[in-house]
Amino acid sequence: MTRRQRVAVVVVAVVAVAATLAGGVVRNLPVLGGLALALAGLLFVVAGIVADARRPDTVIGRLLAAVGLSWSLSAALTNAPNRFLFTLGLVLFPLGLAGLGHLALVFPSGRASSSLERLLVRVPYGMALLGLPVIDAGECPECPGNLVGIDIGRGFGRAYYSGLLVAVLITTVAVLVVLVRRWSAASPVARKVLLPVLPGACVFAAAYVGGLLAELGLPSGLGDRWAVLVYGLLAVAPFVLLGGLLRARLARANVGGLVVELGDSSPSGSLRESLARALDDPTVEVAHWVPDRGLYVDAEGAVVDLPVADPRRSVTLVERGGRRVGALVHDAALRDDPALVEAVSAAVGLAMENERLHAEVLARLEEVRASRARIVQSADAARRRVERDLHDGAQQRLVSVSLALGMARASLGAAPDGALGSLLDQAAGEARLALKELRELAQGIHPAVLTEAGLAAALESLAERSPVPVEVVGVVDGRLPAPIEAAAYFVVSESLVNAVKHAGASAVSVRLGRDDGHLRVEVSDDGAGGARVLPGSGLEGLADRVASLDGRFELVSGPGNGTLVKVELPLGEIPCP
């Protein structure tokens, strides 16, 4: 309905209420019953307009307004002096009742879901028209009378009336059965949507059945009081329907909360919980679309198969900028509120896109970390190769030269042949020195002992060659992955060099330990302290090397308090050589 149509409907209903009152007063008719009906109609109209504004996608709002309008007009027209208008007023009341049944059957989607339901929607309208001749015009001598009215006191009229009552009874019972079955088959989520309306409609239909039984003179328990109950329930009906609609509005307000919640960059996984709250559906599932693999996965990366032919589950695709981001799998009852699901999936699109970008950034970071580790390891491998080349080439040849010189000197025999002998001695000495320097050079590039014998032997050899006493505490049994051994070794050797060269330490202590999958190395000295990790320094190189293995590097070096280097290296994923 447009805004203008809504205003017009309300104006007509208000005018009908006024006309009921005025007509009754002017023509001196009993106004109370008519006024109650007109006001109840107005309530339905207002509820219908609110419903239509909230849910223009379903026929519910318009149907409510139509029911209300028909009752308001029924009240007003049965006060009219004209016989045709009076008769029209008479038939509008049962037509409104048929509309009420229609409402109960199609709430909340506005569509009948089976051919039986479609039949039960239509039949009462026909019965309302067929019933016009037997509608009781009431004890009203002033009224113009029913244009097509027949006497129901006897003969054909009596039979027609009774037959119609039985038909209405059967139809109402059928509606009641359909409503009860719908309720018992509904999922918990669906029941939340149906809660005030469907059970209310069942009670109303049951009361109506009771009233019909009483009218037919059959045992019905309450006798004439059924009529009071039916009209009482009728007065409550618009409030029940409005209540149901307000619940829907509250659900919509959840979408606003969801948008705020998702904006809070909540950790992955809570997206599902936020959604469950917003949709009031604890069974909701979030499926992320993986374009590379052409399938959906959940937050843990497990493949999700979207339900295809499950009447209780429904799928809403989530798109963003025309691209598929994922899908929500939820209770089929939520299909009755497509606007809510649409709003939620729009809000979720942003969050899912964020989740995907977050995952991508993490993957990139992982790539960078892996490549950093590879760079360090390939540098180590290159140094090992250089050391090996020196060993296999220059060092071997120099040893042979040195031995040959020794033999040449020896072949001169005991007779010291002046110049040649001393020349050979000098050459042998130079060769020995060159060999020693070359060995130290190779050692500095990459210690052979680390490759050959492992960390423990390498540290022992470091301690032996150190100019200051080095105490090594703790043992690491067996071999560790090469990058770990190299990192631990260089931490100790670099710290030793710093302790001796820069801090003037007189003693150094090395502590080794292995626990919870970590190798811990601590090097402390009694030197001057005040060491800092400066750009391009050896300590920075150590920190980088440790970081490349996801380790922890700590430097404690207050001036005058010595220096402590603490390193923790995870032994996890790196394979042993």
Partner 1 sequence: MAVTVLIVDDHEGFRAVARRLLEDQGLEVVGEAADGAGALLQVAALRPRLVLLDVQLPDTDGFAVADRLAVTHPETVVVLTSVRPASDYGARLPADSARAFLPKAELSGPALLGALGAAR
Residue 121: in which H helix or E strand, if any?
A: helix 115-130
- Reading the block at residue 177, the tokens are 């059965």
Q: Write a three-state SS string for 368-400.
A: HHHHHHHHHHHHHHHHHHHHHHHHHHHHHHHHH
- Piece in contact with partner 1 (CB under 8 A), picked from 20-28, 327-335, 345-353, 389-397: 389-397
Whichever of 339 and 408 has its CB closer to partner 1, that residue is: 408
Can you tell me the distance from the alpha carbon of 61 to that of 137, in angstroms, rounded to the nearest whole number?
30
Whichever of 143 and 458 has its CB closer to partner 1, that residue is: 458
Q: How far is the CB of 490 from partner 1 (least distance, A)?
A: 17
Whichever of 404 and 473 has its CB closer to partner 1, that residue is: 404
Q: How far is the CB of 447 from partner 1 (least distance, A)?
A: 8
Whichever of 5 and 396 has its CB closer to partner 1, that residue is: 396
- Piece in contact with partner 1 (CB under 8 A), picked from 91-99, 233-241, 244-252, 446-454: 446-454
Whichever of 405 and 499 has its CB closer to partner 1, that residue is: 405
Q: How far is the CB of 479 from partner 1 (least distance, A)?
A: 11
Q: How far is the CB of 268 from partner 1 (least distance, A)?
A: 49
Non-local CB neighbours of 114 within 8 Å, separated by 6+ positions = none
Q: How far is the CB of 440 from partner 1 (least distance, A)?
A: 11
Cα 334 to Cα 269, 338, 349, distances in angstroms: 22, 7, 18
For strand 563-570 and strand 552-556, is the pairing parallel, antiparallel, or unpaired? Answer: antiparallel
Binding mask 448-477 for partner 1 (x = CB under 8 A): xx--xxx-xxx-xx--x-------------
Non-local CB neighbours of 84 within 8 Å, separated by 6+ positions = 147
**Starting at the edge strand that comes first in sequence, how are the strands of the sheet with 313-320 ordered?**
303-304, 295-297, 285-290, 323-331, 313-320
Q: How far is the CB of 566 from partner 1 (least distance, A)?
A: 26
Find the binder of partner 1 among 368, 404, 433, 576 (CB under 8 A).
Answer: 404
Radius of gyration of the chain (CA): 47
Do 468 and 524 meet the contact criterion of CB atoms below 8 Å apart?
A: no
Give the closest residue to 165 by CA, choosing from 77, 226, 233. 226
Angle between helices 418-445 and 338-390 (to 10 degrees): 170
Residue 407 within binding range of partner 1, rule CB under 8 A: yes
Question: How many C-beta neighbours within 10 Å does residue 102 have?
Answer: 24
Do 359 and 212 meet the contact criterion of CB atoms below 8 Å apart?
A: no
Find the binder of partner 1 among 272, 313, 320, 391 (CB under 8 A).
Answer: 391
Residue 410 within binding range of partner 1, rule CB under 8 A: yes
Q: How far is the CB of 392 from partner 1 (least distance, A)?
A: 7
Residue 400 within binding range of partner 1, rule CB under 8 A: yes
Q: How far is the CB of 352 from partner 1 (least distance, A)?
A: 57
Q: How far is the CB of 456 from partner 1 (least distance, A)?
A: 7
Secondary structure letter of residue 245 according to DSSP: H
Residue 8 within binding range of partner 1, rule CB under 8 A: no
Query: What are the DSSP calls for 432-479, one per residue?
Result: HHHHHHHHHHHHHHS-HHHHHH-HHHHHHHHHHH-SS-EEEES---S-
Find the binder of partner 1 among 111, 364, 385, 397 (CB under 8 A).
Answer: 397
Whichever of 48 and 454 has its CB closer to partner 1, that residue is: 454
Q: Torsions phi, psi of 418, nearest 5?
A: 35, -110
Whichever of 255 and 488 has its CB closer to partner 1, that residue is: 488
Q: How far is the CB of 483 from partner 1 (least distance, A)?
A: 20
Q: How many residues bind partner 1 (CB under 8 A)?
A: 29
Residue 119 within binding range of partner 1, rule CB under 8 A: no
- Look at the block and give the residue holding tokens 């374009």: 291
Q: Which of residues 424-443 bind partner 1 (CB under 8 A)?
A: 432, 435, 439
Q: Which residues, in sequence order, are bridge partners of residue 473?
A: 511
Residue 313 within binding range of partner 1, rule CB under 8 A: no
Whichever of 406 and 529 has its CB closer to partner 1, that residue is: 406
* Residue 108 preceded by cis peptide, ω within 30: yes
Residue 383 within binding range of partner 1, rule CB under 8 A: no
Q: Point out which residues bind partner 1 (CB under 8 A).
A: 391-392, 395-397, 399-400, 402-404, 406-407, 410-411, 432, 435, 439, 447-449, 452-454, 456-458, 460-461, 464
